Amino acid sequence: MGEERTFAVTLIKTGRGIPEVEVGAYRYTGDWLPEVGETISVRPADDTEGAGAELQGFVTKVNPVADTPISVVEVEDQRLDEVVVEPADSPQTY
């Protein structure tokens, strides 16, 4: 394993109404940036001792040159095997 790095994260919390977007309020620590489609653990950015609540986030965007290189959507239900992602250009039948 290599040296761990910490990256700023934009977290999108969904629910009823308008989604809440928290830019840079969370961080991810790992050997390198995650890939789109992965589920990662993130912690509050102000949690210097690692005692804060850990959240799970589904990675939607990675941009290594951005101030907040990782964007995730909060995963509330841990049954990840039920998540289906379909490209926007895929044909749909009804």
Q: What is the pLDDT of residues 28-86, one digit of tens each?
A: 999 999 999 999 999 998 877 766 688 999 999 999 999 999 999 999 765 545 555 55
Residue 90, pLDDT score: 54
Is 94's pLDDT higher than 60?
Answer: no
Decide if 41 contacts 53 (C-beta within 8 A): no
Task: Please count the CA atoms within 13 angstroms of the CA of 55 that sit on its side-chain side.
Answer: 22
* pLDDT score at 3: 86
Instruction: For the full predicted model, state whether its pTM sits above 0.75.
Output: no
Question: What region, left, alpha or beta, does residue 51 occupy, with left being phi > 0 and alpha being psi -120 to 50 degrees?
Answer: alpha
DSSP string of 2-64? Answer: ---EEEEEEEEE-SSSSPEEEEEEEEEEESS---TT-EEEEEETT-SSS-SPPEEEEEEEE-T
